[in-house]
Amino acid sequence: MRNSTGLQGPGGNAGSGSRRRLAAAGAVGAGFVAMALLALAVLTGCGAMRSDGPEEVGSAAGLTVYDDEVVMYAASIKASVSAEFCAEHGLSEVGGDFWTTSYDGETPLDELVERTLDEVVRAKVTQRECLERSITAPGDFLEMERAAQEEAETSTDGGATGASDEDLRYELSQYNGYLMTACEDDLKEVLLEDELAPTEEELEAAYMSLDETLRRAEFTASGWVWTWDDSSLDETARRSVADALATGTGPADVAAELAKEVPGIGGERFSFDSEKDVHREDSTAQERADALFPIEEGKLSNVFHANDSELYLVEDKSGGGYVPWEENPRLAESAYINEAYEKYLDNVVAQAEAQEEVLLDVNLARAAIEDSLAS
């Protein structure tokens, strides 16, 4: 657990915590954003908006930071901070005073404040990097909040009521998150062509660092599959099938020959096409692809477990192997820029702190977060 430290600013203390945030990838999800906007319309309909408006708590990277903005970021990480803190300190349940109770000299609120400010500073630095390159980014929280509400009001009938402040903060954080994802994707594209342009060696290294399943070429395989329902017989069944085939028993006759040794064994022909058969709705298809991918023609697979135990004999196979990075340059670029971007942003954040561009009132931020936890 990191020590809770403030950021330089009026009423705050000097210091900073480590800042790291995994880069998001992918385009803005219009459907999910619409859901977030619907919830924001609930906010308008039930009159839960603050009447006095957000209060400034300082600035980061030259962009104003508001207390409501800090609370929005806290809402997005509150659950993970709570879970991690409980796991670290062996807590089985969370009571009403959880956030302000000291555990080994630190409260969960300390951790939440520190990590929230890490997130805020990193977001503001990212937004400045985007805006300096004419990339649209939610750098002005008030404008983003107003735009979200206006769009929500025009896209819904305004009839929904009763949402809690916590739910609405979460939905606004989702809306902001999708805007940030979009601008970060655009920023990566610009950096990829400019400051972070990779060499071929860097692209190859990034590509080879990917999980090997992402680098596989599609393949087809066909042959025989034997199944049985007693997994305790797996070792016996595989050895017996291999012995039967080695002594000249045809694949079609193996099941009948082994009926006594492996009760319930059955055999049939199979065909598999990794491009057509593997999809998100069938997790076992990917596992089956993993089992068949390394098997050469004329060889048996290891025992694969689906509903029953399965053993494959591959008679014919085409495709397979690995796609070189030159034939999949976009995947290589994505693997490279995701890591390079994080390092780049780490450096820019460090520079902003060193140049005293992070001026936040930690006490105001902490008070806003604590108030939100009580609401």
pLDDT in tens, the chain (375 residues): 333 334 443 333 333 333 222 233 333 344 444 444 444 444 443 334 455 679 999 999 999 999 999 999 999 999 999 999 999 988 887 878 899 999 989 999 999 999 999 999 999 999 999 999 999 999 999 999 988 887 767 765 544 455 567 677 777 888 899 899 999 999 999 999 999 999 999 999 999 999 999 999 999 999 999 999 999 999 999 999 999 999 999 999 999 999 999 999 999 999 999 999 987 667 789 899 999 999 999 999 999 998 899 999 999 999 999 999 999 999 999 999 999 999 999 999 999 999 999 999 999 999 999 999 987
pLDDT of residue 171: 78
Fold of 217-319: Chitinase A; domain 3 (3.10.50)
**Of residues 65, 102, 126, 76, the one with CA closest to residue 365:** 65
Q: Residue 62, by phi and psi: left (phi above 0), alpha (psi -120 to 50) or beta?
A: left
- Report the distance separating Cα 8 and Cα 117, nearest Å: 12
Angle (CA) 26-31-32 rounded to 5° is: 70
pLDDT of residue 29: 47
pLDDT of residue 12: 39
pLDDT of residue 163: 58
pLDDT of residue 231: 95
Predicted TM-score of the model (pTM):
0.74
Query: Using an 8 Å Cβ cutoff, are 220 and 319 in contact?
Result: yes
pLDDT of residue 19: 29
pLDDT of residue 162: 54
Domain locations in the chain? 30-201+331-374, 217-319
**Of residues 331, 347, 23, 40, the one with CA closest to residue 168:** 40
- Report the distance separating Cα 27 and Cα 180, nearest Å: 10
Residue type, position 170, single letter: Y
pLDDT of residue 52: 67
- Report the distance separating Cα 171 and Cα 45, nearest Å: 15
**Which two structure tokens, joined as six digits, stand for 361?**
């009132």
Residue 312 forms beta bridges with which residues?
A: 225
